[in-house]
Amino acid sequence: MKGMHLPDIRMLLQGASPRSSEMFPELNNLLNTTPDKAEQGKLTLLCDARTDGSFLVHHFLSFYLKANCKVCFVALLQSFSHYNIVAQKLGVSLAAARERGQLVFLEGLKSSVDVFFQAQEDPHPLQFLREASAGNLQPLYEFVREALTPADNGEAAWRCPVLLVDDLSVLLSLGMGAVAVLDFVHYCRATVCCELKGNMVALVHDSGDAEDEENNTLLIGLSHQSHLILRTEGLATGFCKDVHGQLRILWRRPSQSTARRDRSLTFQYKIQDKNVSFFARGMSPAIL
């Protein structure tokens, strides 16, 4: 199989016993990472085509909270209770993390109602919803920067800051141009990844053949800047009960010219109640 690296498969087949209290241990194995040794200064792009890649968002959210990082979560797609209930299945309480200051949560749906129906005194991160013409995302960037810049008292309470966005395509639907969103990502990367030595994870939908120019621009622009791309795709053959889709992992080196090829792995997966299991293509336990 193309791109398979033998030691990784062995690790996969040995199988970490999936403790359902962890995030997705199999995914950690595939990415060769654990909460203790999370890398820093990286931009990870999550992308889904013809399927729902939100399980990756849940994974990274609980992963970084377990890694003791300070997380700023710009959650535009679902309500806080949705993410909280799923996170509890993965062993993390978002409410508790928010209480102790580890998690800054921007609940897009709820905030949008607040900012839309009532003029706010201070600039609101979703201020652009009230504007007539396409503006920019500066208030949102300011919100992120304020959330993740460590307090002046000097104590390093958390490991490193992490910005998580679910998802960037929604910003396009709300009237932002692709350039404005790319600017926002650029500013966030400069602050979060370079200045604060943290990480950034963002989800973008791949609209496929829906001819969404803006979305394609955003996706291509982000792909070039990312260190790690996780791309979930629905199966080309259609719906299958035992295989929900295919995950392609691509490790990149955006800053260096790639004399050597980027490393990539492809797996198929099945989502369960509290876990996601991965297997090599065509090796679903249901078929073997």
Partner 1 sequence: MAAVATCGAGAGGTESMAAATSKSNVTSFQRRGPRARGTDSGGPRLVSIAGTRPSVRNGQLLVSTGLPALDQLLGGGLAVGTVLLVEEDKYSIYSPLLFKYFLAEGIINGHTLLVASAKEDPADILQELPAPLLDDSCKKEFDEDVCNKKPESDIKMKIAWRYQLSPKMEVGPVTSSRFGHYYDVSKRIPRELIETSKWHGFFLPEKMSSADKVECCSLTPGYMKLLHFIQNIIYEEGFDGSNPQKKQRNILRIGIQSLGLPLWGDDVCCSENCDSSHSLSKFLYILRGLLRTSLSACIITMPTHLIQNKAIIARVTNLSDTVVALESFVGSERETNPLYKDYHGLIHIRQIPRLNNLICDESDVKDLAFKLKRKLFTIEDKVLYK
Stretch that binds partner 1, among 14-22, 36-44, 184-192, 270-278 (CB under 8 A): 270-278
Minimum distance between the CB of residue 161 and partner 1, rounded to whole angstroms? 25
User: Does position 7 bind partner 1 by CB under 8 A?
Assistant: no
Q: What is the largest CA-CA distance in the chain?
A: 61
**Would you say 102 or 111 has its CB closer to partner 1?**
111
Minimum distance between the CB of residue 96 and partner 1, rounded to whole angstroms? 12
Write the interaction track for partner 1 spanning residues 196-215; mark x where CB under 8 A is met and - where it is not: ---------x-x-xxxxxxx
Buried-exposed string 125-142: b where 16+ CB fall within 10 A, e elsewhere: bbbbbeeeeebbbbbbbe
Among 82, 98, 159, 248, binds partner 1 (CB under 8 A): 82
Q: Who's near 42: CB < 8 A, 6+ residues apart?
A: 193, 199, 200, 227, 228
Neighbours of 114 (CB within 10 A): 13
Helix, coil or strand: residue 126: coil
**Would you say 126 or 228 has its CB closer to partner 1?**
126
- Residue 167, preceding peptide bond in cis (omega within 30° of 0): yes
User: Does position 36 bind partner 1 by CB under 8 A?
Assistant: no
**What token pair was written down for 25?**
């241990």
Neighbours of 108 (CB within 10 A): 23
Helix, coil or strand: residue 83: helix
Element at 87 (helix H, strand E): helix 80-89
User: Does position 55 bind partner 1 by CB under 8 A?
Assistant: yes
Stretch that binds partner 1, among 11-19, 48-56, 138-146, 150-158 (CB under 8 A): 48-56
Write the interaction track for partner 1 spanning residues 98-137; mark x where CB under 8 A is met and - where it is not: ----------xxx-xx--xx-----------xxxxxx---
Backbone torsions φ then ψ of 202, nearest 5 degrees: -140, 145
Among 8, 26, 27, 54, binds partner 1 (CB under 8 A): 54
Among 80, 105, 141, 279, binds partner 1 (CB under 8 A): 80
Write the interaction track for partner 1 spanning residues 149-188; mark x where CB under 8 A is met and - where it is not: --------------------xx-xxxx-------------
Among 36, 121, 122, 273, binds partner 1 (CB under 8 A): 273
Rounded Cα distance, 205 and 52, in Å: 9
Rounded Cα distance, 218 and 251, in Å: 19
**Would you say 16 or 113 has its CB closer to partner 1?**
113
User: Does position 235 bind partner 1 by CB under 8 A?
Assistant: no
Q: Who's near 262: CB < 8 A, 6+ residues apart?
A: 250, 251, 252, 253
What is the contact surface with partner 1 in residues (CB under 8 A)?
52, 54-55, 58, 78-82, 84-86, 89, 95, 108-110, 112-113, 116-117, 129-134, 169-170, 172-175, 205, 207, 209-215, 238-239, 241, 271-274, 276
